[in-house]
Structure 1
């Protein structure tokens, strides 16, 4: 006998509650995950609808008490069915409970309050507004100028005003202060209208849009994908376009065609790059038929957005990875911009990667997938070269922008010149030059990549694990530890390579950089952008808005300043320590470094003015740095893949990371040893010991957090399906052993970040 777990109310807050029913023999073939069924429910056996979320041969209750399914609804695979099937695939592929997977995929209804919808309208004619716009430009009232400009199309001829502007869009994405809106209201230029909404869409009026003429390369890509789509071919495409090459224009053209065919679109953008500039381009073209997801939305607001999508009130959902589960009934296209971003990988169970889930959702709904990046992930590029994805390239910048000139400054040489400043002599000169010219500068430091690695300032040598080829992490007790295999050694007093005494743990924070900039260039106006300065709700927007308004000359920051922002007056980017991310104890360190350097360099020279980039490093000969300076992705890819092949790291092979956590350190260690032994036994049983590498257990990089001890096991295997089998085997082992009662075990396939 087979049994089905059935959810009877997927809008209910508690998705954990499923009921088991038996599957009559005549329904065996139709009873699939996600199927819509009718079942007798409760004491009165009233018939209600439900969805199958799991199937097994084990009864959870007394067999005589389990009721049979009454009916499987013919052609009942509605959008909920598709999402439940997707949840089941996520559970099987990435390792998690079905409940966790369902909560990720299904929009859970919370108590939804009515929300206010505020819009801004012009209270005067378009001609009068145009006159005011000119006045404000002369007075340099940048906020007022931006607000009025948002009401007009991009046309240089007779301005056409749009009827209304979303208030929150103006405040949050256009960086317009609420006081600016109030001031223009008092003058009588605009009015604000407030209406209470539950799930109503914005007014369905399209904005006037003047189409942009695509370049020959852009048009070729858009035409090819549209031709495939109209012919009924559904593929995965990778667009590899340099920073500023105009990938967004290509997306807009394809989206427009897909929507005309009555289909819906999901546009994924990493949260960090979800800027007002990007959103406004979509808003101007598609008007209120778009919706935006972001982390600031409450559960209730998120549910509202999903219901608008399900009701067909919108055509495009823009947002980070959670937008992937928008319940569009006629989904035709999923675009994943900046597909290399690590934020597309979930850090909480189920630890899915949005790229793989997007492709699976495309299969289930008959949608095409477009991946785009200036620095594609090795995983995607490998599949593109193998023909699994169709590859397109945009090798040059669009319009007036030119690729910046890139300088590499060797910090070892600076030390020989007795320059102990964090700025090389050349970078100092260029900063002063830009300050004199009233142009803007971005100084980037990847503090997040800093993991206490030890390097020599004299020769650039880095202390690495002899077994894993990742950098050793310095600990306060004077030991260096590898957090992959547990190898330990003492902190040397002299560099093992050149004998210099200048060997120490490396790290300079943004705050220190800001202080040094102010000391070195007292006349400069400096802004700092990192997690500390962006804690407040609109912290990001305030800093970016001030910089866009040229209220500062120099912006100092972490990686959040190099994602998707377009500042035409920035003509110099200084990357202060490329090595910080290069030697984080993570096998993806070189790839991350290459991506960050190219993305950071991409901020320079995006307007009419030419740009320059200075990369400061102790390792100028490292292939990730030299390739980034030449924008040579193919050269970097070949070198990095040689390294991954040699050490069996993804995408050459696959890794299953197993995290064992417990408040009792002895229990964590014992459980980790048990799982390590069980993994070895399994490999022997499957007769794949030669192709399976088991590393650890070892203490995690973050070995103790909130009084919880963390241990890791890594399993490398070239065939992903074997790692899924191992995960299933270990889950069973954990469930039937008392030694895991006080332990939490999590599985992560091909992790994006080190533990």
Structure 2
């Protein structure tokens, strides 16, 4: 490579502004993406620092006008350089532009107003201040008098206190400052998103199996061995205790730790366990933080003010200078895969980041992803097992109820006879119940019983969802319309919504169990900041008997008085058009079952289903992960689905349907010609066809899939298609996206 694209300021506004420099021959071997360099800049050729973000053989303007790089700064491996290297890896591995990858890994350096801690002090002696006070009294300057009187009592005052409590304007403060009577000092106040001061964590003694795992990991770490470990532990087996133990040892060595938790599980309860142990040295990232709060956490991490960052996949890019460990809890969760370009998976990206900075990775789950478990069985990851719950706690007893039999017995309620009698029993004993509605991949739609019309969004090829406020809403673009009185097609009055929502379950539970205190947790009840914590905290304090909710209630919560979990529609997620539907169903059911009996009281689980013989429901009922893994892998091998093989989804989108279709046809044809020309073994290409969501926000979407056993060969196919569409005029006005081993179907 002869030329390097260099950025000189790392902010989102300047990422597009790169400058091209010539790489001198003696620096070519060291000029890599992410490396910091010294370059001559501007007319005066002043020497400034920059980062290489791209390499090329093609000059962007006259070759004689391109200046050479002065030198490579090898001894300053800045954290930004490491993150830029990671962005380059994400671009190559998952398919995106370098700009998209950089915007993912670098902190959002926007003009966020910094919070300041401003302190006002007297600049004069007490005698001099008293004299000034007398003078201002005569002039009847009431604001100045109030401030000077307060300064005679308190030598320093917070600016916020002066402004709010003493009701003194900023102009008054400025005037006294100009006169040399007072002086102010300002320091940047970085926001800490963890508001409450927790009680200290009780000392935890690890069980022999937990201790063995912690010791084995730390032995490797002390010997300089950096690997990826999979901690497969049943629900309630104490994975968090193991994490806390190894984190404590790692931060003693001066290293920092990132703890990844899916957004849905990032609850007050989880964060507090770490905060109780490590106090102010812990911070969090999540989508509910303001832009200012988020940026402050990056700065605190970069300045070394914190040792542990907890958050969803974006926390992976925390700019720690001495990262020693990345923990990825609930590693099976689909939210670890980005749904917008670059469509990276946090698991592989965490492993690459750890490789770049010499850190270890621990993946944890009660229901590991098939991808991770396969790698652990093959020895690519080190496998640790925790097969029993902590202490005297037993795994719950699981009952499977066939809803077809309930219908035969004329029970049309959403509660089976078994579940109803068990709820009544719990209510009498003053124990708590969780009712989980499995709505993954399923939504309440509105249709006409006379002509069969399903009401759809005019902008997206998706059915509208009925809401309690009388509105029909599209969950893709946000379009709204009122619920019709009659069918717009045939005029029939028999138009109604189908599908049971959490609100309906709550209403039915109130009718079935009158006088019972019920809390509901779903997207509507948790919209406001702190909504999750409010509901979970009320339930934990025993302010409700029953908690009704979707998947957000089954993630990692620990309620000692919950002795019964009812899964109302176990098989709904099996109807999603997704090859991972069985795996997601098994994981959800196992997680839901894991909420019961987490203290001394024994737990029971009732799984209600129409498909009692489906393998995901059978094995979830037995709590048998290994059995499920073997059966599911047979299906994946048969169909060449991940992790037995790999898939690349290619999406072509345009405002014009014809253009989108033509683009996807051109790409598949070009791929076939390239394969023939290169005499490669044929890739298995499926499609093109309209995407499942064929129109979204007035944009038409077509996709095709490429199946291939070797991931690197899929990357080569992506590189070819990327080059083909970027350098062809046929693709103007077309957006092409790549997604490796997609988590959701298109």
Q: Give the TM-score range, shorter chain.
A: 0.7 to 0.9
**3-state DSSP class of the match of 2:13?**
coil
Whether 2:386 is the aligned partner of 1:386: answer: no
Distance of 1:506 and 1:629 partners within structure 2: 28
Alpha-carbon displacement from aligned partner over 1:369-420 (angstroms, at most 9, x marks no partner): 0000000000000000000000001001112322111000011111221222
CA distance in 2 between counterparts of 1:390 and 1:521 reads 49
Residue range with higher mean Cα deviation, 340-349 or 441-450: 441-450
| Shift in Å, 1:81 | 1.3
Name the counterpart of 1:359: 351
Q: Does 1:244 align with 2:236?
A: yes
Match of 1:449, SS?
coil
Which residues in structure 2 correspond to 1:151-190 (within 5 Å)? none
State the 1:643 CA deviation. 0.4
**1:446–1:581 CA contact under 8 A, matched in 2:** yes
Provide the rounded CA distance (Å) in 1 between the counterparts of 2:544 and 2:95.
48
**Residues 662 and 710 in structure 1, CA contact (< 8 A), matched pair in contact too:** yes
Asked if the contact 1:206/1:288 (under 8 Å) is kept, the reply is no
The aligned counterpart of 1:520 is 512
The answer to whether the Cα contact below 8 Å between 1:452 and 1:474 also exists between their aligned partners in 2 is: no
Deviations 1:305-324 (A, max 9, x none): 11211111111111111111
Is 1:235–2:227 an aligned residue pair?
yes
Q: Residue 403 of structure 1 aligns with which residue?
A: 395
Q: Distance in 2 between matches of 1:522 and 1:566?
A: 26
What does 1:254-265 correspond to in 2, within 5 Å? 254-265=246-257
Structure 2 residue corresponding to 1:345, chosen from 326, 337, 350: 337
Of residues 631-640 and 660-669 in structure 1, the stretch that sits farther from structure 2 once superposed is 660-669
1:547 is matched with 539
**TM-score relative to the length of structure 1:** 0.80
Aligned position for 2:471? none
Counterpart CA distance in 2 for 1:377 and 1:117 is: 47
Question: How big is the shift at 1:512?
Answer: 2.2
SS in 1 for 2:526: coil
| Superposed displacement of residue 249, structure 1 | 0.5
Task: Quote the residue 2:608 is aligned against.
Answer: 616
CA distance in 2, matches of 1:438, 1:9: 61
- Structure whose CA Rg is larger: 2
Offset at 1:11? Answer: 4.0
Q: How does 1:509-658 map to 2 (within 5 A)?
A: 509-658=501-650
Output the CA distance in 2 between the equivalents of 1:441 and 1:683.
Answer: 58
1:8 is matched with 8
**Contact 1:317–1:326 (CA under 8 A) maintained in structure 2:** yes
Residue aligning to 2:718 = 727
Tell me: CA distance 1:475–1:295, structure 2 relative to 1, closer, same or farther (3 Å): closer
Q: Structure 2-normalised TM-score?
A: 0.81
1:89 paired to 2:89: yes
Q: Where does residue 489 of structure 2 map in the other structure?
A: none
Q: What is the aligned-residue RMSD (CA, Å)? A: 2.4
Deviation, 1:657, is 0.7
Q: Relative to structure 1, is the Cα distance of residues 686 and 431 closer, same or farther in structure 2, using a 3 angstrom cutoff?
A: farther
Report the 3-state secondary structure (helix = DSSP H, G, I; strand = E; otherwise coil) of the residue aligned with 1:447. coil
Give the match for residue 704 of structure 1: 695
Q: Which runs of structure 2 are paired with 1:318-333 in the superposition (5 Å)?
A: 318-333=310-325
Equivalences for residues 8-157 of structure 1 within 5 A? 8-11=8-11, 13-115=13-115
Deviation at 1:671, TM superposition (A): 1.1
In 1, Cα distance between the equivalents of 2:692 and 2:275? 43
Q: Is the 8 A contact 1:113 1:198 kept in 2?
A: no
Aligned to 1:743: 734
User: Displacement of 1:207 after TM fit?
Assistant: 8.4
Name structure 1 gaps, 5 residues minimum: 119-194, 454-472, 477-504
- Alpha-carbon deviation of 1:532? 2.0
Q: Is the 8 A contact 2:198 2:275 kept in 1?
A: no
CA distances 1:405-454 after superposition (whole Å, capped 9, x unpaired) = 1000011111221222221111111111112222111111122322799x
- How far does residue 631 in structure 1 lie from its aligned partner after superposition? 1.0
Alignment match, 1:154: none
Are the aligned partners of 2:431 and 2:563 in contact in 1 as well (CA < 8 Å)?
Answer: yes
1:527 and 1:669 map into 2 onto residues whose CA distance is 48
What secondary structure sits across from 2:367 in the alignment? coil
For residue 474 of structure 1, report the CA deviation from its aligned partner: 11
SS at match of 1:544: helix
Secondary structure of the residue that 1:13 maps to in structure 2? helix
> What CA distance in whole angstroms lies between the structure 2 residues aligned with 1:616 and 1:474?
28
- Residues 451 and 745 (structure 1), Cα distance of their counterparts in 2 relative to 1, 3 Å cut: farther
- How many residues align? The count is 631
Counterpart-to-counterpart distance in 1, 2:539 and 2:200: 29
- State the alpha-carbon separation in 2 of the partners of residues 551 and 250 from structure 1: 31
Question: Is the contact between residue 206 and residue 241 of structure 2 (CA under 8 Å) also seen in structure 1?
Answer: yes
1:244-275 deviations in whole A, cap 9, x for unaligned?
10000000110111111111111111111111
Shift of residue 681, structure 1, vs aligned partner = 2.2
Structure 1 residue aligned with 2:451 = none
* 1:184 equivalent in structure 2: none
Per the TM alignment, residue 107 of structure 1 is displaced from its structure 2 partner at its CA by 1.1
Q: Stretches of 4+ moved more than 6 A in 1?
A: 200-203, 473-476
Matches within 5 A, 1:435-454: 435-450=427-442
Post-superposition offset of 1:689:
4.5
Give deviations 1:567-615, integer Å, cap 9, x for gaps: 1111111111111111211000000000000001111111221111000
Report the Cα distance in structure 2 between the residues aligned to 1:115 and 1:686, rounded to whole angstroms. Answer: 59
> Are 2:462 and 2:693, in contact at CA under 8 Å, matched by a contact in 1?
no
1:285 aligned counterpart, secondary structure: helix
Instruction: Give the distance between the partners of 2:660 and 2:201, measured in 1 at CA.
Output: 60
Structure 1 residue 57 displacement after superposition: 0.4
1:371 corresponds in structure 2 to 363
Picking from 291, 297, 301, the partner of 2:289 is 297
